[in-house]
Amino acid sequence: MSDLTYAIGDVHGCADALIRLLDRIDWHARGRAAAIVCLGDYVDRGPDSAGVIRILRARQAASHGRMICLRGNHEQMMLDAHRDARDAPAWLANGGIETLRSFGAADAGALPDDVLAWMSGLPTVHEDAGRYYVHAGFRPGYRGVDPNVTARLWIREPFLASNYDFGKHVVHGHTPQRSGRPDARSFRTNLDTACVYGQVLTAGVFTTARPGPVEFLQTPRDPPQMSDRSDRP
């Protein structure tokens, strides 16, 4: 892996913001070899989940292994809805309707097979010399990578309230920061800066200098892409 890593927070169908942020990353890297870790939640709520997936897959294919896309809870809900119709209402209520519209699909059973196969193969955690990257977080008390995949995809508390040292800095998303500012703490950094709610898409910049971020790259603020519902997962 590169000495320079960019981690991207929750995209949620905001394809235009993703394009702008990747352009900023390319400019910032200035030709240096760099890794990019995407923290999950590419789909749902925003207007162009299909476009986000196309961008990520194309970029990943050309990255020579330097772009890692993790699975988030919204990818998991989408997969669950495809596999079992009984899981579809929960997904649709949490942004799945917008995702179906972007793919031109009538229901979860009509989603493209290649997209579903790609999502199914996404890891739920990534590790480098200084950090763990995960969508939601880990359970405090489990030093190192939490073996519980459900926690990796869904946890908020007690992870967010803890000051637990997991052995490496934990880089995550999942919990939107409505201020548009990332939440950087001693042992973790939250990069979900509520892009789909009209805030910004954020990339944390990480080097070998220290475990935590050395700076942040962000897109300009956009109008909200969905109704502002704070009770959704």
Average pLDDT, the chain: 95
Instruction: Give the tokens for residue 124.
Output: 């739920």
25-46 burial, b at 16+ Cβ within 10 Å, e below that, comes to: beeeeeeeebbbbbbbbbbbbb
**pLDDT the model gives residue 220:** 83
216-226 tens-digit pLDDT = 999 987 666 65
Bridge partners (DSSP) of residue 2 are none
Residue ranges in the chain whose pLDDT is less than 50: 1, 227-231
Compute the C-alpha angle 32/35/41, nearest 5°. 140
This prediction's pTM:
0.94
Domain boundaries, the chain: 5-159+167-218
Tokens in use for 222? 């956009």
**CATH number assigned to the domain covering 5-159+167-218:** 3.60.21.10
